[in-house]
Structures are given as structure tokens and as C-alpha cells.
């Protein structure tokens, strides 16, 4: 009971510390901001008002929904391609040697440099934006899956073989669960990359949802609107990362080794 109380008070202290630091930042922002003209850097409350207005009139929600189309499609496509490719590359030396240089290029290149090439191929269509999200996410996803599969404990392979596990059962019951934590970590990182890809596509190719909202606010010198939109994009990134983290921990419960003698 005492331990639980100590635990609760520690959590409370943490919440207070976090709240205090947030208040300090917001206070400074409010103090330094200047709402007298649209073009100036707005105060915290000014930004909040703009955020509320854009949310209330629905424009930001619509923009967000439009933009996320490319995120959803591009990221799903990346999963669809990277998972099988990563598993195969993790299992076969030959495939790994063939694929790995491309993965290295994808991960090491600043992918924003590839955007003109994508534009040359797909124009300014939805496909172009999907392709960019895909490119941002696919490398890290495939590499993590590959490494996860390669790191399967060799003695588990032998165990499976000694029980004459069929190939498919081996993959399903030994390889995939072993690699799952690495795959989940990759999926989480790739999701952050995909959000970047979504925004990059709209700012460099063509403004569609969020991108056109940002452009509009930018060209009309509405700094408060601009910051409000950026905050929303940040919030989406954080929320998605948090959701992926929750999912990741759920799949990793056995790693934490919580006692469970129920």
C-alpha cells in the first residue's frame, strides 16, 4: 500500500512538473507575442483563437482529412511492400544482397531531393503524393523487418527444424513473432517519416489539404493561422506516434516480463 502511495505521489509530481514547464512556455509565448498586426508573431492566445476559428468553421478538419488520404494510402502501400520484402530479405542472403543497397540509399538520401523525379513521373496527382509518402516510409520499414528476421535466435530455427515444422508454420510461429518487436519499432519510425512525407509532398508539389491551407495563410501573411495549422500537424504526428507506441508495447508485453501467474 505504501509503495502504491509513493508511486502515485511520484506520478503527481511528474504531472506538476510537466504542467509547470508547459505554463512557462505558454506564458513566455503570450508575453513575447504581438497580435497587433497579422504579419507579426502572434501570442499564444491569439494563436489559440485562430486555431479555434479554423476548427470551428471546419476548414482545418477538411484540410486534414484531404491530406491524410495520401498518408493512409502511402503508408499502407509501404507496409504492403516492405513487410514481405523485408521478410524475404531477412531469410535469403541473395535477396538481401540485391535489396540492401536500395534500402541504404532510401534511408540515407534526403528524400526531398527525389520529389522532382516523382513529379516528373506522376505529375501533381494524388499518386504523386502517395508515392512520396511511400518513399519516405518504405526503406526504414523494410530494413527493420529484415533485421528483425535476421536476428531470430538460430537455436529457435534449429528447434523448429528438429520438430519438423513446415516452412509456413516456421514463419508464422517462430520467425514472425521473434521479429515483431523490430517490425513494430520500424512501423513507428516509418509512421513519423510518412507524416513528414505527407507534408513535404504538399509543400513542394501541390498544396492540397494542409499544404494549401499553409500556403494560403503564408501568402496572406496570417501568421497566427499558419502556426495554428503547424500545431495541428504536430499534434497529428505526436498522436500517431503515441498510438503506435501503445500498439508496440502491447505486442511486446512478453519482453517486459510482467509477472503473470493468474
Contact code string over 129-168 relative to another protein, x by CB under 8 A: ------------------------x-xx-xxxxxxxxx--
Q: Does position 177 bind another protein by CB under 8 A? A: yes
Min. distance of Cβ 260 from another protein in angstroms?
A: 6
The C-alpha cell that represents 55 in the structure block:
476548427
Pick between residue 31 and residue 163 the one whose CB is nearest to another protein: 163
Query: Smaller CB distance to another protein: residue 34 or 158?
Result: 158
Q: How far is the CB of 171 from another protein (least distance, A)?
A: 13
Q: Measured from the CB of residue 234, what is the shortest distance to another protein in angstroms?
A: 35
Question: What minimum distance in Å lies between the beta carbon of 258 and another protein?
Answer: 9
Nearer to another protein, 24 or 247 (CB): 247
Among 202, 159, 191, 156, CA closest to 176:
156
Burial class (CB in 10 A: 0-12, 13-18, 19+), 116: exposed
The least distance separating another protein from the CB of residue 150, rounded to whole angstroms, comes to 17
- The answer to whether 172 contacts another protein (rule: CB under 8 A) is no
Alpha carbon distance 60, 74 (integer Å):
21
- Which residue from 47, 25, 28 is spatially nearest to 217, judged by alpha carbons? 47
Whose grid coordinates read 504531472?
A: 15
What is the CB neighbour count within 10 angstroms for residue 127?
A: 16
| Spacing of C-alpha 214 from chain mean position | 20
On whether the CB atoms of residues 82 and 99 are closer than 8 A, the answer is no
247 binds another protein (CB under 8 A): no
CB of 202 to another protein, least distance (A): 40
Contact by Cβ (8 Å): 50, 239: no
Q: Which of 28, 39, 169, 247 binds another protein (CB under 8 A)?
A: 169
Residues that bind another protein (CB under 8 A): 153, 155-156, 158-166, 169, 173-174, 177, 254-255, 257, 259-262
Amino acid at each position: 500500500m505504501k509503495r502504491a502511495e509513493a508511486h502515485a505521489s511520484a506520478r503527481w509530481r511528474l504531472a506538476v512538473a510537466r504542467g509547470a514547464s508547459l505554463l512557462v512556455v505558454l506564458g513566455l509565448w503570450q508575453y513575447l507575442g504581438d497580435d497587433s498586426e497579422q504579419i507579426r508573431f502572434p501570442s499564444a492566445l491569439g494563436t489559440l483563437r485562430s486555431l479555434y476559428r479554423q476548427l470551428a468553421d471546419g476548414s482545418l478538419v477538411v484540410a486534414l482529412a484531404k491530406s491524410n488520404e495520401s498518408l493512409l494510402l502511402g503508408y499502407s502501400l509501404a507496409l504492403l511492400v516492405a513487410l514481405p520484402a523485408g521478410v524475404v530479405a531477412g531469410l535469403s542472403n541473395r535477396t538481401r544482397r540485391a535489396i540492401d543497397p536500395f534500402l541504404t540509399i532510401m534511408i540515407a538520401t534526403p528524400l526531398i531531393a527525389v520529389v522532382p523525379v516523382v513529379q516528373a513521373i506522376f505529375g501533381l496527382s494524388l499518386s504523386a503524393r502517395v508515392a512520396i509518402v511511400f518513399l519516405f516510409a518504405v526503406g526504414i520499414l523494410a530494413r527493420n523487418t529484415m533485421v528483425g528476421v535476421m536476428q531470430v535466435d538460430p537455436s529457435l530455427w534449429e528447434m523448429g527444424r528438429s520438430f519438423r515444422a513446415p516452412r509456413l508454420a516456421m514463419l508464422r510461429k517462430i520467425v514472425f513473432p521473434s521479429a515483431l518487436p523490430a517490425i513494430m519499432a520500424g512501423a513507428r519510425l516509418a509512421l513519423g517519416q510518412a507524416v513528414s512525407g505527407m507534408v513535404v509532398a504538399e509543400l513542394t508539389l501541390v498544396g492540397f489539404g494542409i499544404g494549401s491551407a499553409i500556403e494560403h495563410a503564408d501568402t496572406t501573411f496570417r501568421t497566427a493561422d499558419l502556426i495554428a495549422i503547424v500545431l495541428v500537424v504536430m499534434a497529428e504526428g505526436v498522436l500517431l506516434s503515441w498510438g503506435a507506441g501503445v500498439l508496440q508495447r502491447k505486442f511486446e508485453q512478453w519482453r517486459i516480463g510482467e509477472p503473470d501467474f493468474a
